[in-house]
Amino acid sequence: MPVPATLWQPGMRVTDARLNAKDYQAGVVLVSFTSQTSYTQVVTFPEPFPVAPIMGAEIASGSGVTGRFEARAITVNSTGFTLFILLTDTAEGADTWVNQPVHWVARMPTA
C-alpha cells in the first residue's frame, strides 16, 4: 500500500501509485497460548493508514477449542491494533492454542 486510495478529484493525475493504491489491508496472525481464557497480541499494519481504519477479526477455525472463543480488534490506531481473543463461556475453563490462524482486515473509513 504505497499510496492510500483516494477519491478522484478534478485535476488529479493518473499515476501507477494511484492506480495500484488500495484502501484496505489484511493479514493472518498465528496465535499460541497456554491455559488462558483471554489473550492479546499487538499487530502492526504493513503500511500505516492516514487515520484509524475500520477493523474486523475472525478465528479461521471453529473446531476443537477454538469454537468457544471469539476474536476482535481493540485499541485500533493508524499503525496497528491489539488482537483480543476471549473465551465466550468461562464455565468451560482455560484452554491452550497452538498456531491457530486468526484473520484480520482493515479498511479506510468512508466519509
Residue 1 has pLDDT above 50, yes or no: no
- Contact indicator for 20, 2 with CB cutoff of 8 Å: yes
Q: Tens digits of per-residue pLDDT, 8-58?
A: 667 777 777 666 667 889 999 999 999 999 999 999 999 999 899 999 999
Burial call 85-106: b when 16+ CB within 10 Å, e when fewer: bebeeeeeeebebeebebebeb
Q: Is residue 52 part of a domain?
A: yes
Q: Is residue 59 part of a domain?
A: yes
Confidence (pTM): 0.79
The whole-number pLDDT of residue 33 equals 96
Q: Is residue 15 part of a domain?
A: no
Q: Is residue 6 part of a domain?
A: no
The domain total for the chain is 1
Q: Tens digits of per-residue pLDDT, 56-99?
A: 999 998 888 888 999 999 999 999 999 999 999 878 789 999 99
Q: Is residue 2 part of a domain?
A: no
Q: Is residue 47 part of a domain?
A: yes
Q: What range does the domain containing 95 cover?
A: 23-107
Question: CATH number for the domain including 61?
Answer: 2.60.40.2080
- Contact indicator for 45, 106 with CB cutoff of 8 Å: yes
